[in-house]
Amino acid sequence: MGRMLGAFDNPEELDRPDLNKCPDCECFFAGNNCPLCGKECPEEMRAGNRKPPKKEKRRRSTSNGRVTFVEWYHSWWCIIIAMFFMPILGIILLATSPHKKSQKVTFIIIGAIYLVVSTIGIGTIIGAIGNIFDPPVDTSLSREEYVSRCENTAPETFYRSPDAYEDEFVSMTLTVKKIIVDSDGFYANEKYTTYYICSDGKFDIMIRNCIQSGDKNLAVGDTVRVWGEGAGNVTVYDMYYDPHTLPCINVAYVEIANTQQ
């Protein structure tokens, strides 16, 4: 009986081309019959007739060969959930995880962007971008053209129907009662963040300082003639984050009483 060699070895790692091979048991032997199952060796599996086994291409290892066990809180699913609900925690978990440096950098950048957006608010960011590329008032007109388009509007009429005057050119005379700096716009570095609550003695109207030339530092008690465009009802949060909601005018030009601009 032939000598049995490597019956349980990986055939890709061990081959004896000088011996016969059993197609079922995959063991090598020198006789005609398999020493394990007794099956006669077919001609195509005999020494000299058998084709050499195909060697599979081994993939190059991307690690040092060590097996790394990742704790559940460092797993990707946990980090992604943390990034979505608590970005700071997600960034900390990712930074302390054993993941690749390139993956850490990519996800930390994404997490930082999400943190900024979620903190400031997408609306504030869009508003700030809008103020850069789309000023609240029409800047294509000269002062004379702008003023000529503005219709003299009663404060009561504007107060009662602010939506009807949205984007319409209006003009009226008011007295400044209070000065407000919009906190959202201030922290978002918007250009036009100063608002004035004004009145005709009965109706309060808010004007936004979008003055295009000859900017004035308006003071409480000033009586002003304004030319601007209706903005509908607007809510402004002051530096104490108290809300102020009133019909608003984006003012492009202004005159203080008895003072020429």
Q: What is the mean pLDDT of each run of 10 residues along the chain (261 residues)?
A: 44 71 85 85 84 61 54 81 78 80 78 70 56 75 95 97 96 96 82 93 95 84 96 94 95 80 44
The residue among 124, 128, 146, 126 whose CA lies nearest residue 211 is: 146
Predicted pLDDT at 260: 45
Predicted pLDDT at 57: 56
Q: Which 8-state DSSP code applies to residue 56?
A: P
Structure tokens at 9: 């070895």
Predicted pLDDT at 195: 96
**CA atoms of 198 and 171, how far apart (whole Å):** 13
Predicted pLDDT at 88: 78
**CA atoms of 126 and 141, how far apart (whole Å):** 25
Predicted pLDDT at 120: 61
HEC sequence for 60-117: CCCCCCCCCCCCHHHCHHHHHHHHHHCHHHHHHHHHCCCCCHHHHHHHHHHHHHHHHH
**CA atoms of 238 and 235, how far apart (whole Å):** 10
Predicted pLDDT at 61: 42
Question: Do residues 228 and 137 lie in contact, with contact meaning Cβ atoms separated by under 8 Å?
Answer: yes
- Counting residues of the chain whose pLDDT is more than 90, the rounded percentage is 39
Cβ-proximal residues to 247 (8 Å cutoff; 6+ apart), any chain: 158, 159, 162, 165, 205, 206, 230, 232, 233, 234
User: Please, what is the end-to-end C-alpha distance for the chain in angstroms?
Assistant: 117
Q: Is 50 left (phi over 0), alpha (psi -120 to 50) or beta?
A: beta
Helices (H), the chain: 76-85, 87-95, 101-120, 122-133, 143-149, 155-160, 183-187
